[in-house]
Structure 1
Amino acid sequence: MFAAKIERVIDKPIQDVFRLLSDHANYTDYPGVERAELLEEGTNERNGKGALRVIGAGPLEFVERITAFERPFRMDYHIESAKPFHIEHTKGEIKLIQQGSGTKVVWETAGYFTLPILGPLFDRLLQAKIGSAFGGILKGIANK
């Protein structure tokens, strides 16, 4: 199983951080993200609850559905499919908390590869990359 919890305080107002995190089009501005495409719009907002998007990072591609969207405090997602290997995604949450003039972001994800024998190895490899990937996105937001 892979699991990660990344916490970072960004010196920007909560509304700005949420806008940048929730808009798929910004993701290709961050290191490692090569593709970010909206496949289906959300019910009330373009990138809101119900939105389906694909995020590509190197050989990996994730199709994720936004399952909760509470502007500017929370966005949850579920990875519905992944390439080149299937992932069973059990948790995807991004929470934002106003802290003075800044914003604390808590990003959690968990799941596992369903491959027999090699699944645990891929879990460990992905776990090692998650922190740097999420950290890179949050650093990019802080620098915008």
Structure 2
Amino acid sequence: MKTIEVQQDLEAPIERVFAIFADHGGYGRFRGIKAAELTREGTREKNGEGAQRKIELGSVTLWEDILAYEENALIEYRIVKAKPNLIHHELGRQRFERLPNGGTRVHWTSTFKFRIPVVGRFLEPRAAAQFQQAFAVMLRTVEKMARA
């Protein structure tokens, strides 16, 4: 198992930052994401717990279930299906914290492993570095969007 961890302080209000991450159908706005859609609404909030999003990353498609949702505080998700089916995703977690200066601290973790025996252990560190970089770029993009 490999865990990716990214923490960034964004100069944008927590309500806007959270709203962008909670808009599952809007993920197509991010670089590297070909398309995104909300495939199932949540039990209480449209994008909340129980919701499912589908994210297309070129040749890879992911279906992610939203496991926990606390407005302006937390989104937890798990990849429940992937094409191709190469990874087992344990958990993704985005925590949001209001900063004294009016900004937002986002702490994002994701734990996964490759389903390919032996070779997967060699691929995980490289994939983790790429995912970590992608998360950091996404956070910078969210900051720009939230400040606009």
TM-score, normalising length from structure 2?
0.91
Task: Note the C-alpha offset of 1:124.
Answer: 2.5
Q: Distance in 2 between matches of 1:74 and 1:60?
A: 26
Provide structure 2 residue ranges, at least 5 long, that are not aligned to the other structure. Answer: none
Give identity over the alignment, percent: 32
Contact 1:18-1:72 at 8 Å conserved across structures: yes
Q: Could you say what the CA RMSD is over the residues aligned between the two structures, in angstroms?
A: 1.3
Tell me what 2:25 maps to.
Answer: 25
Contact 1:30-1:136 at 8 Å conserved across structures: no
SS in 2 for 1:141: helix
Tell me what 2:142 maps to.
Answer: 141
Runs of at least 4 residues off by over 4 Å:
none
Amino acid at match of 2:2: F
Tell me what 2:81 maps to.
Answer: 81
Task: Note the C-alpha offset of 1:42.
Answer: 0.5
SS in 2 for 1:55: strand
Identify the range of structure 1 (69-78 vs 84-93) with the bigger mean alpha-carbon deviation.
84-93
Q: Distance in 1 between matches of 2:41 and 2:104?
A: 27
Q: Distance in 1 between matches of 2:30 and 2:51?
A: 21
Give per-residue Cα distances to partners, 1:17-45, cap 9 Å, x unaligned: 10001111221111111121111111111
Task: Note the C-alpha offset of 1:99.
Answer: 0.4
Task: Note the C-alpha offset of 1:2.
Answer: 2.5
Q: Distance in 2 between matches of 1:83 and 1:118?
A: 18
Tell me what 2:116 maps to.
Answer: 115
Contact 1:14-1:103 at 8 Å conserved across structures: yes
SS in 2 for 1:47: coil
Amino acid at match of 1:64: E
TM-score, normalising length from structure 1?
0.93
SS in 2 for 1:96: strand
Q: Distance in 2 between matches of 1:96 and 1:128?
A: 22
Tell me what 1:57 maps to.
Answer: 57
